Amino acid sequence: MIHRKFLQFLTSFLLAALFSSPVFAQTPGTSDESVSPETTIESTKPAKPDKRLFGVLPNYRTVDASIPFSPLTPRQKLSIASHDSFDWPTFLLAGVMTFAMPGAEDKHLYGTGLEGFANRYIRTSADQIIGNMLSEGFMPVLLKQDPRYFRPGTGTFWSRLRSAITQIAVARDDSGRRTFNTSEFLGNAIAVSISNAYSPNLRSWSSSTEKLGLQIGTDTFSNVVKEFGPDIKQKFLHRHHKKA
């Protein structure tokens, strides 16, 4: 199915990007005899998060994990959600996600050609905006949770990957304590329920569950890109300066 092929593409892209990044460079002064290369990999000092990774992917939720925790106000949480929802690259991403939409292969639901794509694109954009506003804005405000991604930026590859994936399920509350990320799961579940009202392809339990899994999976992938994207950018900049 189209959306499964899309997820396979995302996975392949991520693996190719990660294994070419500086996090796989040997840390100076580390003996190869003491530990394996996988456990000796460390990155450089965390870079200041860009608002858009690679100039395209919205990155307003990322903060340096080494900075002392400071809670967000409700207004700041809604501002983060708004930027992630309405920044112009979001609408480009919605175009890509349209092809991963469950039921997209059923031509009789939305039509064919440009008209069919437009019908699916409008719904995908709405899903993305509603999901972001709920999981990153309204739910964190109501549940007093922090919607940000706390990027370690240093450590072994596996510890950083584990942190990126874990933060989908584990969030911080406004006091800084770790708690289950109810905002992520409940927010996206409500978004899928709302989507059922205008997306005929989601009016079954299996399709709705698949849609929810796709949204949470995309958010997980986003965390991994947020973690290692700056390393990839730094490597390409280093190559550019070296050639110059």
pLDDT value, residue 184 = 97
pLDDT value, residue 94 = 79
d(CA 119, CA 129): 16
Start-to-end C-alpha separation, the chain = 45
Residue 78: domain span: 58-243
In this structure, what are the phi and psi dihedrals at residue 87, rounded to the nearest 5 degrees?
-65, 145
In a domain, 182, yes or no: yes
Instruction: Please name which of 187, 85, 87 lies closest in space to residue 139, comparing C-alpha atoms.
Output: 187
In a domain, 3, yes or no: no
**Contact call for residues 129 and 137 (beta carbons, < 8 A):** no
In a domain, 219, yes or no: yes
Find the helix or strand (DSSP H, E) in which 137 lies.
none
Non-local CB neighbours of 65 within 8 Å, separated by 6+ positions:
46, 150, 151, 152, 153, 163
For residue 138, which amino acid is it?
A: F
Instruction: Please name which of 234, 228, 69, 233 lies closest in space to residue 160, comparing C-alpha atoms.
Output: 228
pLDDT value, residue 110 = 73
pLDDT value, residue 19 = 43
In a domain, 100, yes or no: yes
The dihedral region occupied by 84, where left means phi > 0, alpha psi between -120 and 50, and beta the remainder, is alpha
In a domain, 171, yes or no: yes
pLDDT value, residue 27 = 37
pLDDT value, residue 214 = 86
- pLDDT tens digits in sequence order for the chain, 244 residues long: 444 554 554 555 444 444 444 433 333 333 333 334 443 344 444 555 667 666 667 788 999 999 999 999 999 999 999 998 888 877 877 777 777 666 555 666 777 778 878 888 888 889 889 999 999 999 999 999 999 999 999 999 999 999 999 999 999 999 999 999 999 999 999 999 998 888 877 777 888 888 899 889 989 998 998 999 888 877 776 565 556 5
pLDDT value, residue 238 = 56
Instruction: Provide the domain count of the chain.
Output: 1
**Contact call for residues 14 and 165 (beta carbons, < 8 A):** no
In this structure, what are the phi and psi dihedrals at residue 34, rounded to the nearest 5 degrees?
-80, -45
pLDDT value, residue 21 = 40
pLDDT value, residue 235 = 77
Q: Tokens for 54? A: 């690679």
In a domain, 131, yes or no: yes
In a domain, 159, yes or no: yes
Give the number of other CB atoms < 10 A from CB of residue 9. Answer: 13
pTM of full prediction above 0.95? no
